[in-house]
Amino acid sequence: MKNARWLVGSCLGISAFVVLPLCIVAFSVFSFDVALWRHLATTVLSEYVLNSLILAVGVGIGTIVVGSTLAYLMVNFDFMGKSVLSWMVLLPLAMPAYIIAYTYTGILDFAGPLQTYLRSSFDWQRGDYWFWDVRSLSGAIVMMILVLYPYVYILARTAFVEQSYSFVKVSKLAGYSRWHHFKRVSLPLARPAILTGASLAMMEALADYGTVAYFGVSTFTTGIFRTWFGMGNIQGAAQLSTLLCMFVLVLLVLEKHSRKDASKYQSRHLSQFSVNKLHGIHSLVVMLVCLLPALLGFVVPFTQLLTWSAQFAEVGDLSSFLALVKNSLVLASVGALVIVGLAVLVSYSKRLANKRVVNTAEQALSLGYAVPGIVIAVGVLIMAGFIDRHLNQLTIAWFDYRPGLVFSGTIAVLVFAYTVRFLSVALQNTETGLQRLPKRLDNAALSLNGSVFRMLRKIHVPLLSGSVISALLLVFVDILKELPATLVLRPFNFNTLAVRAYELASDERLLDAALPAISIVLAGLLPVVLLTRQLNKTSV
């Protein structure tokens, strides 16, 4: 096929280049620093491991309880306000964990409105009462549960919808109550989907930096940052990153195992599905149960951010805020265009070649999204530093000139890190779009002696416009929210909304951090709206 070999070669080259930072981190384990690890083992390593495990397990259990309960109630019951709640329960997806952490700190801290009201109402002083410390490990777990439960909810909802009504009939014949049917039939059938969602939530928890750093919780992500910048040991940071990746790898194996037999639990008789209509107090109780996660995960923090933003607009420096918006929009736009362009190229190569080597390369590219941003930043910076160092050696030898840092600390390196992290997100959309197009289109175009690139430009890209736009939007918002990689790799004196919100919140300037934070949340609402529309098309 004309140009097909060149296309496949490009796909393999892209895959090798994108996966290289992950390989650098993985191979760092062979340069073992005995002194560093002895120091970490006797001081903080056990704390990193224990806190990371507690965080991941706590978030996993919490998202399973909240997400699966919500999914079952929304699928199996009809109650007041269900049509509104069907999209409200997904709104926390637009709220990054580090932003909700800043917000609840302002609400629940000692100087916050809630404790201030309690002290003024009951004439209490410090030490006269106990109040939950949100800036703790338990606080980090709760914050992440509130924004990550939709991972479980979406998959569990689909699993419950795909269960045939014949299961309910059999349960009734067996004398099962609705609760026993849920516990013994519905829940076990939906278990693969629920565990998949929980695994994704746990990986997000392990990858989080902003929340745990702000709360002062020592985990692998904060440990990597301290080893790198506090101790000046990037190789040690890479080795810690390898250890963190082992935890992520375990979760990936569990997630893949949970999906292994998922198709066996799906039903093809969805038309028999029945919904139980609730009235009176029962309808009210179920509505309140479904409303609570959306209320705590989005409405309360969003309202607080709006209040702070209005106050900042009166006294703050809007010109500096507009500069942040410009930087963020330009960076996210460039990154999204590059990533989606590469995703189209890789997906197209897979469609035309369909060889094992291309499929393997595409699967390797999907690893980036499972790896924490701080780990990718370590690998990218080591790679950029290696290139800069050898480039300087060449220019000194040939031209007696030292250019300094050519790649490190540039927008190009930052966009490359985003590519490693988010290429998988774009690939999911472009591959799904291409799979919908019949192969006869390719055969007809190639029979006219057209090249594969002309076929892509004239036929596939126009037909893929919906998938490409969705991919652009999702990657754009992901880049806008990304904190650890941007914080580490951004050029000098270059700030984005996410970085500035983190810096201001770290300085306890929550009022100033509100406007950048709410801008990120508002941008994050766009893919949530698209996702809600897609889910509502599912027959319930």
- On whether the CB atoms of residues 490 and 496 are closer than 8 A, the answer is yes
pLDDT at 137 over 80: yes
Q: What is the arithmetic mean of pLDDT over 444-470?
A: 70
- On whether the CB atoms of residues 350 and 364 are closer than 8 A, the answer is no
Cα separation, 538 vs 270, in Å, equals 10
- On whether the CB atoms of residues 107 and 300 are closer than 8 A, the answer is yes
H or E stretch at 330: helix 318-353
Cα separation, 242 vs 237, in Å, equals 9
pLDDT at 540 over 50: no
519: amino acid identity, one letter: S
Q: What is the arithmetic mean of pLDDT over 352-378?
A: 78
Spatial CA neighbour of 204 closest among 293, 49, 72, 98? 98
Token digits for 312? 């900042």
426-368-100 Cα angle (round to 5):
80
pLDDT digits (tens, 9 = 90+) for 21-75: 888 887 876 666 677 778 778 888 889 999 999 999 999 999 999 999 999 898 8
Distances in Å between the alpha carbon of 66 and those of 63, 71, 96, 150, 482?
5, 9, 18, 9, 25
DSSP single-letter state for residue 400: S
The pLDDT assigned to 449 comes to 62
H or E stretch at 473: helix 465-481
Highest mean pLDDT (candidates 3-17, 50-64, 109-123): 50-64
- On whether the CB atoms of residues 103 and 501 are closer than 8 A, the answer is no
Cα separation, 241 vs 246, in Å, equals 9
Distances in Å between the alpha carbon of 403 and those of 393, 395, 410, 421?
10, 8, 14, 29
Cα separation, 84 vs 104, in Å, equals 25
The pLDDT assigned to 339 comes to 93
pLDDT at 310 over 70: yes
433-438-444 Cα angle (round to 5):
125
538: amino acid identity, one letter: T
The pLDDT assigned to 258 comes to 63
- On whether the CB atoms of residues 98 and 520 are closer than 8 A, the answer is no
H or E stretch at 82: helix 82-88
Distances in Å between the alpha carbon of 351 and those of 432, 469, 536?
11, 20, 30
Token digits for 509? 């300037």
- On whether the CB atoms of residues 482 and 372 are closer than 8 A, the answer is no
The pLDDT assigned to 271 comes to 44
Token digits for 79? 């109650």
Cα separation, 393 vs 180, in Å, equals 71
Q: Where are the alpha helices (DSSP H) in 28-112?
A: 34-43, 45-76, 82-88, 97-108
pLDDT digits (tens, 9 = 90+) for 500-529: 999 888 888 888 888 889 999 988 888 888
CB atoms within 10 A of CB 526: 14
Q: What is the arithmetic mean of pLDDT over 396-424?
A: 87
215-221-225 Cα angle (round to 5):
95
Specify the pTM.
Answer: 0.84
Cα separation, 325 vs 516, in Å, equals 8
Q: What is the arithmetic mean of pLDDT over 4-23?
A: 80
Spatial CA neighbour of 528 closest among 133, 99, 92? 92
